[in-house]
Amino acid sequence: MKGDYQDLVDEISTLLGAPATLENRDFRLIAFGAHDSDDDLAMDPVRTRSILTRGSTAAVRSWFEGFGIARATGPVRIPAAPEAGVFRGRICLPVRYRGIVQGYVWLLDREPGPAPDALAAAMEVADRIGVLLAEEAKAGADLSREFRAVLTAGRGWQQDMAVSALRAALGPAAADELHAVVCVAPWTGEPPATVPGAAAVCVVPGRGPDADAAAPDAPVAPGATAPGRALALLVRLRAADALGPAEAVASRLLGPGSGSAAARTAPGAAAGTARTATGGSAAGAARTAAAVSGAARPAGGAAARTAGAGAAVAVAPGGPAAGIAEPGRGLAGLADAWAQASAAARAAAAQPRLGPVARWSSIGPYRMLSALASAAPADDPAARPLLGPAQRELARTAEVFLDCAGQAGRAAAALGIHRQTLYYRLARVEQLTGLDLDEGEDRLLLHMALKAARLHA
């Protein structure tokens, strides 16, 4: 399939007399034409980054989408913007299939530019690319049965058989490719027919007495919930430290502004670039050029979609959250990766500062708590008096105090209360639980119980 894309990109380059690059709708590089020009301006920072890292930052994507390329059905000319790292104008050929954008072919613009008949011929080639991209996306959706079998088969020969079937369906390259597993939970409604950017998609039933009562892909009435159901996605990666494609898939499913906490606080996360493919004029895009000038710095995933670096995006109560497992090569470790992604999604839902998209590597103590948690809520007898609705404020006070490493000044500031009020509440916590908050083991027990309770809230 990759060779087919390269041949078609070379065909467009020949038709238009300029090197072309092909990216999918997530701005991930698929193929590019040979570049033999001595013109230094031809390889501006945005083009260079796209080829060297096989992708573009969220800020660059947002800026180009501001010119309406996701809605366009014909070539779009985009002017140069040196302050944004775009030293040469671009011609964008949208790649569509049945009216849905599948990707983009990019060329450097020059005067007088390609003739109309050459552009029309290039658009015909772009349509052929759109068919291939759509077929590849459909193939990912068709792998739901094989993918789900790998995640639910358990250990032993059944797992081996499931992995072999998925490997055969994905092709021989899957044995060495780098993947990340993404979990979105809870998942309601019908499974999606396809998810752009995902090599395989399935709905997995969760644990619990009713988990096996219905088929995992059984339809759910609009507005109804399906306890325990989660959406699993397999995303191909370029490098172990480049989880951007996985975060982009998760963010698209959860909605705008849902990048991971790690991405939101990454260096260079540009402020003021919250734009979508369906809005924004050329003039509006030009106004964001200054923000895009930081594109050479790693923003990671959907970072630049938030309104500012470090901005907190809370998970709506009862709403879905997403978790991303550690990257892995090949398919043998997918079941373990699913456990990581599920735990990260639960942590993102339990602790708003981690979500709504959380990486397994960033959830801290929830890595251990999720492994220790059982199907029933944590019910330690000492902590039990704090876990009822009547003591919600005391439980929150104790958790914040323990999160602040027992530093009363920090805890009082975080809670917005006077230090004497904090001391009174902590005394009440000790009375109700029988624990001594001056003792390390008692603090550990209470802290673990409060955090575990979040996972079952």
Q: Quick: pLDDT tens for 91-136.
A: 999 999 888 888 999 998 887 888 999 999 999 999 999 998 887 7
Range of weakest confidence among 263-272, 320-329, 414-423: 263-272
Residue 128: what pLDDT? Answer: 93
Residue 273, Cβ density class (10 Å: 0-12 exposed, 13-18 middle, ≥19 buried): buried
Higher-confidence residue of 39 and 247: namely: 247
Task: Specify which of 54-58, 179-183, 242-246 reaches the highest per-range mean pLDDT.
Answer: 179-183
Say whether domain 384-455 belongs to CATH 1.10.10.2840.
Answer: yes
Q: Which residues contact 344 (CB under 8 A, 6 or more apart)?
A: 183, 322, 323, 324, 325, 358, 359, 360, 362, 363, 366
Residue 46: what pLDDT? Answer: 58
Residue 64 above 60 pLDDT?
yes
Would the CATH topology of 2-140 be identical to that of 384-455? no
Confidence of residue 8 (pLDDT cuts 50, 70, 90): very high
What mean pLDDT do residues 306-311 have? 27
Residue 411: what pLDDT? Answer: 92
Are the beta carbons of 397 and 426 closer than 8 angstroms?
yes
Identify the three-state secondary structure at position 112: coil
Are the beta carbons of 340 and 246 closer than 8 angstroms?
no
Confidence of residue 379 (pLDDT cuts 50, 70, 90): low
Q: Which residues contact 21 (CB under 8 A, 6 or more apart)?
A: 9, 29, 31, 32, 33, 47, 50, 51, 105, 106, 107
**What is the rounded end-to-end Cα distance, in angstroms, of the chain?**
46
Element (H, E) at 23: strand 20-24
Higher-confidence residue of 244 and 209: namely: 244
Range of weakest confidence among 172-176, 293-297, 347-351: 293-297
Report domain extents, the chain.
Answer: 2-140, 144-242+314-372, 384-455
Residue 328 bridge partners (DSSP): 179
State if pTM tops 0.75: no
Task: Please provide the DSSP assignment of 148-194 as one string.
Answer: HHHHHS-STHHHHHHHHHHHHHH-GGGGT-EEEEEEEES--SSPPS-
Are the beta carbons of 381 and 447 closer than 8 angstroms?
no
Whole-angstrom Cα distance, residue 425 to residue 285? 52
Residue 288 above 70 pLDDT?
no
Residue 355 above 60 pLDDT?
yes
Residue percentage of the chain with pLDDT more than 90: 26
Range of weakest confidence among 269-273, 335-339, 374-378, 417-421: 269-273
Checking 367-376 for CB contacts under 8 A at 24+ apart, the result is 367/343, 369/448, 369/451, 369/452, 369/455, 370/342, 370/343, 370/346, 370/455, 371/343, 372/452, 373/452, 373/455, 373/456, 375/207, 375/208, 376/456
Chain segment 317-347, per-residue pLDDT in tens: 457 899 999 999 989 899 999 999 998 998 8
Residue 168: what pLDDT? Answer: 85
Residue 440 above 80 pLDDT?
yes
Domain 2-140: homologous superfamily in CATH:
GAF domain (3.30.450.40)
Residue 314: what pLDDT? Answer: 37
Average pLDDT of every residue of the chain: 74
In the structure encoding, which two tokens stand for residue 430, read together?
Answer: 């000790």
Task: Please provide the DSSP assignment of 436-451 as one string.
Answer: -TTSHHHHHHHHHHHH
Task: Specify which of 58-67, 272-281, 315-324, 412-421 reaches the highest per-range mean pLDDT.
Answer: 412-421
Residue 451: what pLDDT? Answer: 80
Identify the three-state secondary structure at position 57: coil
* Pairing, β 178-185 against β 321-324: antiparallel
Residue 254: what pLDDT? Answer: 86
Residue 350 above 70 pLDDT?
yes
Residue 438 above 60 pLDDT?
yes
